[in-house]
């Protein structure tokens, strides 16, 4: 079994993909619009609230993880609740860089700082409604 993350954006998928490419080094593997699907015999019209140029499906990688994404009708797409995409990094500097980039325009739940389990740890929701945890873990002994 393989588990993947699927993110929905309220008409801002393209913007989010570009943002994650710039700040996280994400690599877009594929993406298609509603217009492209219509040209292939798929649905002729996107759902209400979306335009033909909105993303129907995209795949990108974050590190060695495949993430999928699409646009959804703005009235149905809600910010994430009770789930987080967690980024484990190898340095305090990288944790701080990512935290600073992704919290801009977002909502901080736990400011970046040291904890008993991490040199740096922070929780937040980015401006696209995605919840993130960024962690530079401390070595933990076996219990």
pLDDT level of residue 142 (50, 70, 90 thresholds):
low
DSSP-assigned beta bridge partners for residue 86: 133
Would you list the domain boundaries of the chain? 1-76, 79-143
Q: Count Cβ atoms within 10 A of the Cβ of residue 94 and give its class: 0-12 exposed, 13-18 middle, 19 or more buried.
A: middle
Q: What is the pLDDT of residues 86-121, one digit of tens each?
A: 999 999 999 999 999 999 999 999 999 999 999 999
pLDDT at 48: 87
User: Reduced to 3 states, what is the DSSP secondary structure of residue 79?
Assistant: coil
The model's pTM is 0.90
Q: Does the pLDDT value for residue 10 go beyond 70?
A: yes
Q: What is the pLDDT of residues 33-70, one digit of tens each?
A: 999 887 777 677 888 889 999 999 999 999 999 999 99
Residue 52: φ, ψ to 5°: -55, -30
pLDDT level of residue 3 (50, 70, 90 thresholds):
confident
User: Reduced to 3 states, what is the DSSP secondary structure of residue 89?
Assistant: coil
Sign of CA dihedral 17, 43, 78, 132: negative
pLDDT at 124: 98
Residue 110: φ, ψ to 5°: -140, 115
Asked if the domains at 1-76 and 79-143 fall in one CATH topology, the answer is yes
What is the domain class of 79-143 according to CATH? alpha beta
Residues 6+ apart with CB under 8 A from 126: 102, 103, 105, 106, 132
What is the domain class of 1-76 according to CATH? alpha beta
């Amino acid at each position: 079994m393989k588990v993947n993350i699927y993110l929905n954006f309220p008409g801002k998928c393209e913007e989010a993909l570009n943002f994650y490419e710039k700040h996280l080094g994400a690599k877009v593997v594929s993406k298609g619009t509603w217009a492209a699907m219509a040209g292939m015999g798929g649905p002729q019209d996107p759902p209400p609230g979306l335009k033909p140029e909105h993303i129907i499906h995209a795949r990108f990688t974050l590190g060695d993880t495949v993430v999928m994404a699409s646009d959804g009708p703005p009235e149905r797409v809600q910010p994430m609740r009770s789930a987080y995409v967690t980024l484990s990094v190898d340095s305090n500097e990288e944790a701080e860089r990512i935290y600073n980039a992704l919290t801009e325009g977002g909502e901080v739940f736990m400011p970046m700082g040291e904890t008993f389990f991490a040199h740096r740890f922070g929780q937040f929701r980015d401006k696209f409604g995605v919840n993130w945890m960024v962690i530079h873990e401390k070595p933990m002994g076996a219990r």
